[in-house]
Amino acid sequence: MMSARHSTGRSIAAHGILILYTLIALFPVFVIVINSFKSRRAIFADPLALPSAETFDMIGYQTVLKQGDFFQYFLNSMTVTVGSLFFVLLFGAMAAFALSEYRFRGNSLMGLYLALGIMIPIRLGTVAILQMMVASGLVNTLTALILVYTAQGLPLAVFILSEFMRSVSADLKDAGRIDGLSEYRIFFRLVLPLVRPAMATVAVFTMIPIWNDLWFPLILAPSEETKTITLGSQVFIGQFVTNWNAVLAALGLAIVPVLVLYLIFSRQLIRGITAGAVK
Amino acid sequence: MAQRQPFRWHIAVFLAPAVLVYTAIMIVPLIGTLNLSLFNLEDGNRIFVGLGNFATLFGDPRWSEAFWNALGNNAWFFLVHMLVQNPIGVALAALLSSPRLRGAAFYRTAIFIPTILSFVIVGFVWKLILSPIWGIAPGMLDAVGLKSLFAPWLGKEEYALTTLALISVWQFVGIPMMLIYAALLSIPDEVIEAAEMDGVTGWSQFWKIKLPLILPSIGIISILTFVGNFNAFDLIYVSQGALAGPNFSTDILGTFLYRTFFGFQLQLGDPHMGATIATAMFGIILVGVCLYLFAIQTRLRRYQF
């Protein structure tokens, strides 16, 4: 009985600390969201108050949606993120499969070569990347961003996924081979579905920096048609710095998609990390 | 009879896309940048200057002052993360992983949310909260009778960098938390049970059993923090601008690189000096990674299962 009471006290303390930290983590988001629904005067009069019947106002959202460009930025970000994610996962899984499944000369050297990029940030090559994109006419295209982010995401993807694919039972793959499946089918039909948790982990850690990146959109694709939402809202804040409603609404909207993407993948996230790389 | 194995095309097919994209977009530009740092423009002609640009960067007072300032600021930025972010991350993970804790998934998600927010949002909302005009922070300090403690932290040279570092800690504490949490979950039950049989429970269990077992993860987190911090740019850029004000007190290598390469207000863009700074950053990160790999990671190996 002693230990039961002891653990109740401890768990209350644990909850207390976690709740406190949760409040710290969410407080700024809360500030943005509540104020984005308030009238301009109420934002300044009492920034911490919830919107009430008198102070509730959607003017910010109306302004943002009427500006129109915002929707374009949104779409650009979606295209870039989903496109890069697709290529990172596909190419990364293929390379990881080759590295973990087959013994060939230069296998571990290739693994090391691909892993280098985990430690060395791609940004340091920006000077030459820009020159290359200018030379190939890809500046101010979403393709340039997708290419860069694919290259950026691949090292970690290969690293995590190959750890995982080593744990897929060899018997299963051999059974597939005896049944006459080609190596490609073994990869797509048998192995890929089994490493889904790892794919989710890779997806989260690839997606977040892409969605939030300011550096490459600023340098490679700053034109109006190719702006991402991160760059778009940065500019928006500058232009409309007096229109608080619009700025807050824009930021509120910018949170939604990445939150949704995160929630989609996060269920598998912990399973993925636990079983995989960090052990 | 020893037949040569036929060339296995599928291996090449599986590897090719990743290797090609990675090499073309990452490795080649990186080498190109390193190469560019060895040249300079003179009268419109590109001439080879060897390590001359580095001599300028480290020696010429016009450059070196800004460089050492940025490097020092960057080191402080990193130190704050190591001293604040990672211990908090480990503590939160330890709490989350305590057995039979209800709502762990909720806490985990909530605490991770700042990590998924863009720097634009983070920079803006903290500026708003800390702003003396809008005044959420002064208002809140006032409510607990501590208003005298308030200062415009982002606007004062002596506080701005530390304030930004703490904002960055707030944003990214979810990453060490997640990784340590996963590491704690993957400690085999037998190890914990054995510890409990020996009467090692609670805090002493954490310090004596779990902490040594998660040291490799802490090592990985430290090196990720190092690489991330010495490559940081966005938060400073969105909240203080490319001039990293007030008076360059928040200038770090990333903002210095941006200003040098692209030019900003008072200065013209200089790709060669930009490449030189990028190369210097590359060197710093490389040294850090090598130190970690050879000095720390190899010694930690023996704790692994």
Per-residue pLDDT band for A277 (boundaries 50, 70, 90) equals very low
- The full 3-state SS of chain A, as one line of letters, equals CHHHHHHHHHHHHHHHHHHHHHHHHHHHHHHHHHHHCECHHHHHHCCCCCCCCCCECCHHHHHHHHHCHHHHHHHHHHHHHHHHHHHHHHHHHHHHHHHHHCCCCCHHHHHHHHHHHHHCCHHHHHHHHHHHHHHCCCCCCHHHHHHHHHHHHHHHHHHHHHHHHCCCCHHHHHHHHHCCCCHHHHHHHHHHHHCHHHHHHHHHHHHHHHHHCCHHHHHHCCCCCCCCHHHHHHHHHHHCCCCHHHHHHHHHHHHHHHHHHHHHHHHHHHHHHHHCCCC
DSSP code for B85: I
Which of A19-23, B21-25, B83-87, B260-264 shows the lowest mean pLDDT across its residues?
B260-264
Q: Which residues of A touch B125 (CB under 8 A)?
A: 28-29, 31-32, 251
Residue B170 CA to residue B119 CA, distance in Å, equals: 12
The residues facing B233 across adjacent strands are none
Per residue in A240-257, pLDDT tens?
666 778 888 888 888 888
CB contact under 8 A, B237 and A214: yes
Q: Using CB atoms and an 8 Å cut-off, which of residues 161-180 of chain A contact chain B? A: none
Q: Report the complex ipTM.
A: 0.86
Q: Which residue of A has its CA nearest to B94?
A: A14
At residue B242, the pLDDT reads 81
DSSP code for B222: H
Residue linked to tokens 């987190």: B221
Per residue in B77-113, pLDDT tens?
999 999 999 999 999 999 998 877 888 888 988 999 9
The residues facing B263 across adjacent strands are B268
CA-nearest of A153, A145, A112, A113 to A129 is A145
Question: Of A98, A117, A208, which has the smallest distance from its Cβ to B116's Cβ?
Answer: A208
Per residue in B179-189, pLDDT tens?
899 888 888 88
- Asked whether residue B25 carries a pLDDT value surpassing 90, the answer given is yes
Residue B40 CA to residue B52 CA, distance in Å, equals: 9
At residue A269, the pLDDT reads 75
Residue A162 CA to residue A152 CA, distance in Å, equals: 17
CB contact under 8 A, B128 and A31: yes
Given CB atoms, is A115 within the 8 Å cutoff of chain B? no
User: Residue A13: exposed, middle, or buried by beta-carbon count in 10 A (0-12, 13-18, 19+)?
Assistant: exposed
Amino acid code (one letter) for A145: L
Given CB atoms, is A25 within the 8 Å cutoff of chain B? yes
DSSP code for B7: P
Look up the pTM and report it.
Answer: 0.86
Instruction: Calculate mean pLDDT across residues A180-187.
Output: 91
Quickly list DSSP for B149-170.
Answer: G---GGGSHHHHHHHHHHHHHH
How many residues in total does chain B contain?
A: 305
Residue B45 CA to residue B55 CA, distance in Å, equals: 20
At residue A77, the pLDDT reads 92
Q: Which residue of A has its CA nearest to B219?
A: A278
Phi, psi of A159 (to 5 degrees): -60, -50
Mean of the per-residue pLDDT values for chain A?
A: 85
Given CB atoms, is A112 within the 8 Å cutoff of chain B? no
**CB B36: neighbour CB atoms within 10 A?**
23
Run of H or E residues at B48: strand B45-48
- Asked whether residue A95 carries a pLDDT value surpassing 90, the answer given is yes
CB contact under 8 A, A114 and B19: yes
At residue B4, the pLDDT reads 65
Q: Which residues of A touch B130 (CB under 8 A)?
A: none
Per residue in B124-135, pLDDT tens?
888 888 887 776
Q: Which residues contact B103 (CB under 8 A, 6 or more apart)?
A: A15
Per residue in B38-66, pLDDT tens?
988 777 778 888 888 898 889 888 889 99
DSSP code for B4: P
Residue linked to tokens 């598998």: A268
**CB A119: neighbour CB atoms within 10 A?**
18
Residue A247 CA to residue A234 CA, distance in Å, equals: 10
Given CB atoms, is A275 within the 8 Å cutoff of chain B? yes
Question: Of B33, B128, B178, which has the smallest distance from its Cβ to A124's Cβ?
Answer: B33
Structure tokens at A129: 């990347």
At residue A3, the pLDDT reads 47
Select the more confidently predicted residue: B200 or B229.
B229
Run of H or E residues at B257: helix B253-262
How many residues in total does chain A contain?
A: 279
Q: Which residues of A touch B17 (CB under 8 A)?
A: 87, 90-91, 94-95
Given CB atoms, is A91 within the 8 Å cutoff of chain B? yes
- The half-sphere exposure of A85 on its side-chain side, counting CA atoms within 13 A, is 22
Cis peptide before B271 (omega within 30 of 0): no
Alpha-carbon distance B129 to nearest alpha carbon in chain A (angstroms): 8
B256: helix, coil or strand? helix
Q: Which residues contact B251 (CB under 8 A, 6 or more apart)?
A: B66, B69, B70, B73, B236, B244
Amino acid code (one letter) for A157: A
The residues facing B41 across adjacent strands are B46
Alpha-carbon distance A209 to nearest alpha carbon in chain B (angstroms): 8
Q: Do residues A234 and A215 touch, judged by C-beta distance below 8 A?
A: no
- The half-sphere exposure of A231 on its side-chain side, counting CA atoms within 13 A, is 24
CA B177 to chain centre: 15
Q: Which residue of A has its CA nearest to B121?
A: A251
What are B56-61's contacts with CB under 8 Å, separation 24+?
Answer: B56/B273, B56/B276, B57/B273, B57/B276, B57/B277, B57/B280
